[in-house]
Structure formats: structure tokens, C-alpha cells
Structure 1
Amino acid sequence: MIDGRYDGANGRFLVELRIDQTGDDGRGVISGDVALSRAAGPAYLASFRTSTALAATPGGPWAVVCDAQNGDVTRGTVQVRPDGADAVAVEFKLDGPLNGLPFGTVVKAALKRQGEAYRQLGVETEIEEGVALPKPVDGSGIPVTFKKWMAYAGVEVVPAGDKSLIPAHNGGWDWNEANVLGVISGIDQFNLAMSRYTELDLDVPAWQVHMLMLSEPTRPELYGVMFDLRGDNPRQGCAIFVDEIRRSFANNQPERQILWTMVHEVGHALNLTHRFEPAIGRNASTSFMNYPWEYLGGKEEEQYWLDSKQQFDPDELAFLRHGNRSSVIPGGAEFHSFDYWSLAPGGKPAFTPTLPDSKLQLKLVPKSGDPFFAFGQQVQLKIALLNRSGQTIVLPAGALDIKAGYLGISVRRTTRNAPPPQSFVPMVQRCLNQSAGQTTLETNRMVESNVSLWFGAGGFPMAEPGGYELTPVLSLSSPDPSPDESPLVVVGAPLKVWIEYPKTRDDERHGVQLLEPDVGAFQALGGGNACGSAADTVQAIQEERVSRFGMSDPLAASLTRTLGIHYSRAYLTYGGKRFAPGRADNARAGRLLSRLTGDPVAMLNFDEVTARETRELAERVLHQ
């Protein structure tokens, strides 16, 4: 048999097979996916992967573990025999029922080899006018490109979609995250409309990623973002801020950093997470998913490139090549939903303390000390880190930014027999240069930021009324790390919050409307044009609440702030193969924000950091 990807059909089933006789652990792996053949397009049923070493049973059959998108798991066997120079015959058998496949199902098919890559990924690239794509860079004497780096990982990148030239950023609008997602969604919606004539269904998971190559973001040192919006673009859209990278790395190989960022963001789209995050704790990794400036405690950026194998880590490679289709494919399971790092051969979970730290005190603080939130109100909190260690510590830029990877917050229901806690995953993943703009935190000093936990990649974690316990976890580099040392993990004190039950029928009606995913995304982004009619929904509820209950009403205050941010921005809209730059409505934003910030009681609905930032925005808008 020859390693690589094979596919074929038998009339009823479609089979994709991946043969990797060496494997990253030397044991060898065979994995595959089975789909039901239909006139309307294939319906994915299940994935399987060998659970024993291939060499242990020469010639097979090999035991496999089979799992489906709905979470069902069973076992079975797979037999693969050569059938010519570039073909194999496969026989796949289930030991139990799985996702509609009955017990004892046997799938036989003749498969043709498609190439040496284990996966094929279509990348649709849109380029902003005036932005130059990166040139190949030297990789151990070989010119390296984004496609080659992905090929080293076993992923073949092919062009996808129709390229569009995005108008040059000229100051009329900014590349904030809402605007970036709006462009991606606009192009995707146009492609979806056109798909009616090409019989494509773009509203299902597909091996396709949408990548924007843009100039510079609103936030300095932000190099890339990946969006994970359930029901619209789950892990299917990302952006690279090319000019921002060239500015930051003007004297230190910017083209290399741009290509690296492209691989990094596509890694996120394929459900790979940062290596330094608390769950993994491996900042000594040279993987594309670790930051060069985070390597070995953040002081060895050049050493990262000297040590780099220009590759993902073994557990990441195993996941990319042989992971369950639903977990890897863009549009499948939400980001950070599959633990490949501790389940892969040789993997182990990072150690996370269970008790709050007494020297580095991490704390969530609600609005005015009040942990009660109205049904449908955004849960916004202050996050603070107090240094009681007796030593000065250096924090990376964005350490308290929940979208940057260092900070995690678990959410647990406080009811009896509650399900296990879940980690809140934001719908945007930011990749920042953490070494630029570092914060020096002296002893007995505090640094603070704010977090919104209302809507994320997995939807609404606190949608139901009742009590919740929120526990923050922060991963920081050790001052003098060694290759085998995990980052310092700080656990904060749990905070209990309460989502109030609706008091009236209107409270319930408004709360249910605000629990629509598009509306949740609109609030999480601070507005934008990527969320359908969410702006109209928010506007209608805000006007009704203000007229009936005044600005001090929790929902009225929260929605007024969202609309103030929304109208203060200009957006670039795509439709009918044309881009239409818009304008900010500062007059409208100013009226909303000035009325909100002018009401002391209304401002009590926000934590102190959110309130301060809201006042600062109101001042900027009113003076523009």
C-alpha cells in the first residue's frame, strides 16, 4: 500500500480513506470517513480510526474506533488490500449501530489514490487593494510558501471560490472585527445565492476556508483573527493583517511572519488552539500554534526560529490528518471543542491548580458589586489581576483579553445535578504580538480589563435563568522557564452570578428575541452588518424598553451601549459583486451614548471598566 488519501464509492456509500503506515508515533494509522450517497449531495455518517498498531496485525484486519457527529461511538474493523498501483479495496464493518447505520453494517468499496496529502482544503483568498501578498521565504535552503508549509502537515491547499478585490482602506472605515466579518459574510451570502445555479450547498460543513488579506486593524499588533460563529461561519473565516505585520517586522523577516500567520489562522480554522493556553501549557513548543514571541517564556523569539521544524506538533499532526471529520472540518464542531492534545499518543493534559492563588490574585468583579443580571442582559464583568508576589512580573499584551488565549473562564450551573462546567470560548480568536506593549506589574499593583460572557462560539452559556459559577484561569510564562516546564497557571476565585427570571410577559418576549444567535453575535461584536436583521431587533427592543422603563432599565442600558458602538462605525458592505463603503452615523451614536452616560443610574448596569470605556467612546464620538 502507498500512503496518502483514497476515495471511492459503491453505489450506496462514499468512502474517504487515509493510509499513514508510519504515523507520528511509528505505529501507523488508517483513518477514514463514510458518507451516504444521495442525489442532493453526500450525507456524512461516521469517521473511524485504527486503535492498534498496524504492524501488530500485518495485513489486517485492524480494530477501529468509530464515532459520529452526534456523539455516538462504537467499534469495528477495517481491512485494506492493494488493488493495483494506485488503488485499494476496503472493507469496513461496524460492531454496533451508529448514526443510522445498523449493527453489523459492512461497507465494501474500491478506492483510488488521490495524492499523498491526507486532507484537501480549499482556501478562498480576497485581497485588499494595495496589499502585496507575501513572497516565498527560505526554509533550510528551500523556498517555502503557505501551501508548502500546509503540505508538510499533510494538508493540500487548493484555490476555491471567486477572488474579489477589496477596496483600499482609506480612513472612511476601519478593519474592526465586525467589519471584517461583515465582508466575509457578504461574500459568502453572495456565493450561497449563486450556488442555487451550481447545485452547491454552502450552508453545511465543507473543507473550505475564507481568508482576507488586509492592511491594518484598529488594534495595533493584531496580526490575525479567526471567526467561529455558530450557524453562519463556524471556523470558516479568518483575516491576516499584512501591512500591520510588515510594519512591526520591518527589520526582521516580515514575509516569514506573514506566511506563519496564514498557517496559524488556518490552523485555528481546523480547530487547533494555542499551545500556551492553560489546557495545554506548552510554551516550549515550536509549533505554528505557539507564538514565536511566547517561546520559552517570551524571551527567545529568534531561538524559536532556530529550533523550529516548520511543522505542527505530533498531536496536532495526528489530529489534522486523522481526527474525527466533524471536529476538524471548518463548519463542524465549535472551536476548542475537542481535546486532541491529551488523547493523542504521548499527550498529557496540562496541570491546572484547583485553588485560587494567594500571590497573584485573579478576580471577576460584577457591576457595582451586584451579581444579578436581567434575563437577556449581556453578562459583562471586570477582570483584575493583583500582584501580591513581592516581585515585579511582566505581562504579555492582551493577557486579560479573553479573545487572545491566555485567559479562560469556566461556566458552571449551580443547580443540583448540573452538567460539568464548560469553558467559555469567544466567537473571535485574536492573534496578538504579546511582546509588544507588555505590561510591567509591580508588587501590590493591579491591572484590569473587561470581559463579555454573553455569547460565544458555543452559543449562550447562560441562556437559562438561575445561578452560575464563573471561574477565571490565566496562563502566564514562568520567569525562567525550561523546555519541560509548563507556564504558570493562576486560578481566580469563583464568582456566583444570577440570571433573573423574566418578571413580565414582555420581559420574556424581549429575552427570547435577544437569545437569537444573530442578535447574540451582534452584541458580542458591538454591532456590524454581518448579523442579518439583528440591528433592527436590538433597535426595536431598545426603543420599547427606554420608552416604557427609562434608560436605567438593564436591557435598555445594555442595548443602548451596543447601538452606540454600532452607529459610531463605518462599514464596508458587499453585495452583487460590488463593495459599498458606508459612513458612521456619529450624530445618532452621540445621542444614544450621551443619554446613556448622562444617566448615573443607567451606568450602574455596567462594571467599572465597561462604564469607563463607554464614557470614553461617548467623548470621542461627540468630538468628531
Structure 2
Amino acid sequence: MSGIVEGRYAGAFQPGGLTVEARIGRSHDGRLENLSGDVFAGLRHVLSFIGRAGALSESTDGGLSGMVSFFSAQTLHHNGSPITVSPNRQAADGSTSISLTLDPGEGEITVELEWAGPELRSLRIDIDGLSGLPEPDTSLLDGDQDGQDLVAVLKRASISSTVHPSPFRPDASGRKRHTMAELHALMQDWSPPPQQDNRQWRLHVLFANRFDGRNGDDVTGIMYDVEPGMRPSRQGLAVFLNSNTIKGCEPANGPDWRREVSFTLVHEIGHALNLPHAFEDGRPEALTWMNYPDRTANGVAGFWSQFQGAFDSTELAFLRHAPFCDIAPGQYDYAQRDSGLLSGGGFSAFRAACHHEAAPQPAKAVLAIAPLKPVYAFGEPIFLKASVTNNGRRPLDVAKALDPSDGFLSIQIRSPHGKVRRIRPPAMLCQRTPGITLRHRQSVSFDGILASFDAEGPIFDAPGRYQIDATFTGVAGVTLASKPAFLRVLHPSRAEEIFAISIWDDPQLMRAIYCRQPLLALDSWQCLVEETARALSVDQGNTSLSYLKYISAMGWLSSFAPASRTKKYLPRKRKAASHLSVIETRGLPSGVRLRRDELLLR
């Protein structure tokens, strides 16, 4: 059978001005794997289509036919359509012209598409780094003689990539550790991503020092998506060259160092393309870039001895055929997916095949999730506590990673109206996961899970009773499931409602609160603290004012300056202490009290 050549095809449909990109994928033995594509009006994405499993066929003359499903961020008239793809001609170099027909909702259209290359996707990667750090050899990015460079790795996933490194340069603030807010500021100053919908995929990579956050020294990389509900999303990532794991593999550019840097870089690029950790998707032993070597059953040595430097088949199907909004940087926020090609998608035709139920609860390990208080004022910051307890006689090894951004804990919230939503953190970490061995009746817990909002925006935005459920994959071989927990949000006073919506209507302000850095939204912050918050009634049970004071203190404890500015804000511990001294810590995470006492007792 002479089939249509595998690859990407592109063309324009006239007179409507629509452009179409189609992807024909084949397995190693030449059989049709799937077909997919995207339709654009200028730079604006209109819809994507993916062949339905079992509904595609290939004729003896090389034509394809069957049914495709439609996906779009916009309202669609139809959820799918019949499709036919016919080969027109084959050039001497093997390239092909095809004719594609489908009905996007207003009648059939036929478009002629020309072969555009063997890879199904394309990606531009801009790279910056901080001077004083060891610079990765260019062969790590492109041109490695053994084919282990970044460009070759992505090519094996059918992604054509171009890498554009810039000379490493100084950070004017002199920071040795970087928060998510500071990383985002560096990206915006040095290599700002496009603000509009853009068909060209682009990522920014920063080789930085160390992460300023939980488990900071063990974090080797981060993909940050820290502007709730706004674009750009999933376009910035960092690799921390002085993290314990990478630093411990020196000399720089030696085999072990290259392995760790490459793994972190590809892992975070996978997150930027909206891939979850393999263990989040029900594949804890997968030998893929998206797993943690230290969390597999065979351990680090066993993982590296078997790892082939590739994504697994589930991830490859997503990378090759996922709809534009699901995968393209700058589109959907992290973990928001319509197609269901991976767990968490919303399309019912795929949901059953991709949904992974939690394993039965093992009797000797218990996961618990609970709010810090049973009742909250409207707009009050809501924190959750997660804990794992060993009820068995034998020691239990547990990942000390009880925040959703670590990738092991998944939290779902059911609203008073029945809407179920998974907390989606604005960043994903790549780290050598810290572990702890629990003895009989011993527990590990974390009570600093900020649940008020996530990458999608506010969560507890209506009064009523909420149900909280969680699963945890940080115990080898099992998925722990919690019993439901509940909290109630009270009906608001006028001042409480104004306070809440002033935060929820300002994505920059939500980002400042999440990152605990008021300077990210200074004008909005000053208005919130000095005007809006003052109108709140004196309620000893409402932690809103105390938490704002805490964030103000955190802002004064660290330097902050975008890289392009000569002026920077230096730490002022006395200013921080003045905020901390008036905080009432009841109802807030234990870390707030510890931080307050630590500073005030100095």
C-alpha cells in the first residue's frame, strides 16, 4: 500500500482566509497512527481536529477517511465531522500534496495542503543565563555526536526545534536565589513572550542559580505559569545549575552533569507543552523524561540503566496530536486540557480510557486533607493541611512533597453548586524529591497549601459548603485517597465582597499574593492594603488582614528588581518586623508563626 507520507502539511483555504495545518502520524511499521490538525484565521486559532480511535481507515490507493473530533477555546457548532484526505501527487523527494475535506460547522470545505516537513510540530527556544554560572556546552543543545542533544531529543518526539542561546549576562540585583516572581521578571525583561495568540511556539529558558522556595536546594528546574487567567502561560522555565543534584555532578559539562542538566531541561519543556508527571497520569514506573528517577521502584541507578532518552507512547500521542489550545505555549494554563489524551482532559469520548482511579486505600498508610478552619469569611485566605500517617509496624518511605506544585498531591474541590475543580498550581517543579521514613504511628504533614485561587483564578468564590478530596502518589506502589473534608464560606458583608473581588478581578494581585511579593502589583497592593482592607469589620476570626501583613513582611525580607532596572529594592528587616509584630497567626499556616517568631526573636 502506498500511503500518504508522514509529516506536517500546510495550506490556505480561499476565499475565507483560513489556513490549515494537518499532521499525519505513522507507527514504526508504517501503519496509520492518527491524523490531526489545526485551523487558523490569521494568528487566531479557530479549531483543532483529531481522528477518533477506531474511526479512521486507509484505502488501497492511499486515501484516508473517517471521523474527527473538534476542539476549541471558542463555542463550536459541531463536536466533530467526517474527514477525507486524498494524495494529490508525490514529488521526486517523496513529499506529497494532499487534499483535505471536512465540515467545521458551516458546510464542507476542501483545502489543498503541501508537505511542510517530517516533524509534526515546531518550536523556538530562546536561552538566557546568569553570568558566573557554568555555561552548558553548545553540543548539549544541538549537534551532539551521539544524538543526545536537546534538538535531537525533541526531533525524536516529532518536534522540529531551533535553539537561540544568548551570552550569559549579570542580574543587576545580584540575587543568588530566585523566586517565581523574579524569574518571571527576568523573562519579561530579557526575552518577553508574545502577548497575542501566536501560531509560532516559543519558550524561554533561563539557566539560573538556585530556587528561592520550598525545598529550594533540591529543586533543579521549574516551569512557571504565574499569571492566573492571563496570557502568556507555560512559556517560561528555569534550570538551577547550583541546585544540589546538578552541583553534585560537577565538573560542569562532564557526562553526569550533562545528563542531569539535559533531563531537567527536557522535563520542564515537557511541562511547558502541558505534559504532567508520569506518576500523576497513572504511570509511576514509566521510563520517560516526565518521571522522577528517584521515585521509580528500581531507584535512580535502575532508572538510568534502562532509560532510552525518550517520552513514552502516551506522551508521544499527546505531543504529536494534541489540540493547539491543549499544548501550545501561551494557550491553556498548565493542566487544563480538553482532549483527554492525558488524564484531566474534559472530552467524554476519551475520558473513560484516560481516567485513573485511585488504588484501594492501604490499611497501613492514611492520607488526610483538611482546612485549617471549618468556617471562613468571604474572600478570606483559605489554607489546607495534608498529612500522611504510617499505621503499620514497618517503616514507611514517603515523599516529603505535600504541596500540589510538587506533583504528588492532587486536590479536588466540589463547590456548593456541584462543580468539581482540581487545584492547578501556577508552577511545576523538577526536584530530587526529599523523602522521610515514618515509623509506626508517625506522620508527616504540611499546612501551607494556599487554596484560595490557582492558575485558573479564584476557587471559593461563592458562599456555601465545599467538599475537599485528595490523592497522593508519594508512597511507592500505591495511590492514597483521603476521606472527604468540608468547609463553609459565609455570606459576605459589603466590605468583604469588595475586598474579595478587588483581588479576584486583578490577576497581577493574585500573582503577588501567590508569590508573596507585593512589588509585582505595587499600585494594586497599596490600594488593597491602605483602602479596601481597612473597610473590613473587626472580626477576630478573619485572617485576611494578618495574612496581608505577612505578605508585606515577606516582600521586605528579600531584594527585588527586574534585571533591566538599575534600581532595586533591598531587604529591610526592621520594616518586615513591624508588619510581623501585629500578626495574629491563629488560622494561618504554622510557617507564618515560625517565620514571625524567628525574625522577632533575633
8 Å CA contact 2:370, 2:468 repeated in 1: no
The yes-or-no answer on 1:591 pairing with 2:578 is yes
State the match for 1:535 in structure 2: 525
State the match for 2:473 in structure 1: 475
Q: Which amino acid aligns with 1:158?
A: T
In 2, the alpha carbon distance for the partners of 1:185 and 1:168 equals: 13
In 1, the alpha carbon distance for the partners of 2:230 and 2:256 equals: 38
State the match for 2:97 in structure 1: 88
User: After superposition, where does 1:213-612 map in structure 2 within 5 Å?
Assistant: 213-218=207-212, 219-228=216-225, 229=227, 230-244=229-243, 245-250=245-250, 253-277=256-280, 280-296=281-297, 299-338=298-337, 339-341=340-342, 348-353=354-359, 358-367=363-372, 370-398=373-401, 400-415=402-417, 418-419=418-419, 421-434=420-433, 437-450=434-447, 451-478=449-476, 487-503=477-493, 505-516=494-505, 517-527=507-517, 529-531=519-521, 533-541=523-531, 544-545=534-535, 549=538, 553-575=542-564, 578=565, 580-596=567-583, 602-606=584-588, 610=589, 612=590
8 Å CA contact 1:227, 1:233 repeated in 2: no
In 2, the alpha carbon distance for the partners of 1:105 and 1:331 equals: 30
8 Å CA contact 2:469, 2:483 repeated in 1: yes
Shift of 1:31: 1.6
In 2, the alpha carbon distance for the partners of 1:81 and 1:25 equals: 16
8 Å CA contact 2:43, 2:197 repeated in 1: no
Q: 2:177 aligns with which of 174, 177, 181?
A: 174
SS in 2 for 1:83: strand
SS in 2 for 1:238: strand
In 1, the alpha carbon distance for the partners of 2:185 and 2:12 equals: 39
Q: Which amino acid aligns with 2:72?
A: A
8 Å CA contact 1:117, 1:156 repeated in 2: yes
1:289-347 C-alpha deviation (Å, 9 max, x unpaired): 01111222xx4212212211211111111111111111011122222223323688996
Shift of 1:107: 3.3
Shift of 1:187: 4.2
The yes-or-no answer on 1:145 pairing with 2:149 is yes
SS in 1 for 2:301: helix
The yes-or-no answer on 1:615 pairing with 2:593 is yes
8 Å CA contact 1:66, 1:76 repeated in 2: no
Q: 1:21 aligns with which of 26, 31, 41?
A: 26
1:521-555 C-alpha deviation (Å, 9 max, x unpaired): 22111125445744334433576258x63886432
Q: Which stretches in structure 2 are left out of the alignment for 5+ residues? A: 344-348
The CA RMSD over aligned residues, in Å, is 3.0
Bigger drift between 129-138 and 403-412 goes to 129-138
In 1, the alpha carbon distance for the partners of 2:189 and 2:488 equals: 37
State the match for 1:74 in structure 2: 80
State the match for 1:211 in structure 2: 205
SS in 1 for 2:581: helix
Q: Count how many residue pairs are aligned between Structure 1 and Structure 2.
A: 569
Shift of 1:170: 7.9
1:415-458 C-alpha deviation (Å, 9 max, x unpaired): 4xx23x22111111111101xx4211111011111211112122
In 2, the alpha carbon distance for the partners of 1:489 and 1:620 equals: 36
8 Å CA contact 1:169, 1:215 repeated in 2: no
8 Å CA contact 2:585, 2:593 repeated in 1: no
Shift of 1:580: 4.8
Shift of 1:87: 4.2
8 Å CA contact 1:178, 1:527 repeated in 2: yes
Bigger drift between 356-365 and 457-466 goes to 356-365
Q: Which amino acid aligns with 2:291?
A: N
SS in 1 for 2:296: helix
State the match for 1:481 in structure 2: none
What TM-score comes out, normalization by structure 1 length?
A: 0.83
8 Å CA contact 1:173, 1:570 repeated in 2: no
The yes-or-no answer on 1:156 pairing with 2:160 is yes
In 1, the alpha carbon distance for the partners of 2:352 and 2:155 equals: 24
Shift of 1:352: 1.0
In 2, the alpha carbon distance for the partners of 1:488 and 1:25 equals: 38
1:130-161 C-alpha deviation (Å, 9 max, x unpaired): 2233344699971411111111111112246x
Counterparts in 2 of 1:211 and 1:528: CA distance versus 1, 3 Å: farther
In 2, the alpha carbon distance for the partners of 1:581 and 1:533 equals: 17
8 Å CA contact 2:464, 2:490 repeated in 1: yes
SS in 2 for 1:276: helix
In 2, the alpha carbon distance for the partners of 1:317 and 1:112 equals: 24
8 Å CA contact 2:70, 2:80 repeated in 1: yes
Shift of 1:284: 1.3
Counterparts in 2 of 1:324 and 1:203: CA distance versus 1, 3 Å: closer
Identity in percent: 21
SS in 2 for 1:431: strand
8 Å CA contact 2:143, 2:149 repeated in 1: no
User: After superposition, where does 1:121-136 map in structure 2 within 5 Å?
Assistant: 121-135=123-137, 136=139
8 Å CA contact 1:542, 1:555 repeated in 2: no
In 2, the alpha carbon distance for the partners of 1:124 and 1:172 equals: 22
Counterparts in 2 of 1:28 and 1:372: CA distance versus 1, 3 Å: same
The yes-or-no answer on 1:184 pairing with 2:187 is yes
What TM-score comes out, normalization by structure 2 length?
A: 0.86
8 Å CA contact 1:424, 1:453 repeated in 2: yes
Shift of 1:128: 0.9
Bigger drift between 134-143 and 216-225 goes to 134-143
Shift of 1:353: 4.3
State the match for 1:483 in structure 2: none
Q: Which amino acid aligns with 2:503?
A: L
Shift of 1:2: 2.7
8 Å CA contact 1:185, 1:233 repeated in 2: no
Counterparts in 2 of 1:360 and 1:605: CA distance versus 1, 3 Å: same
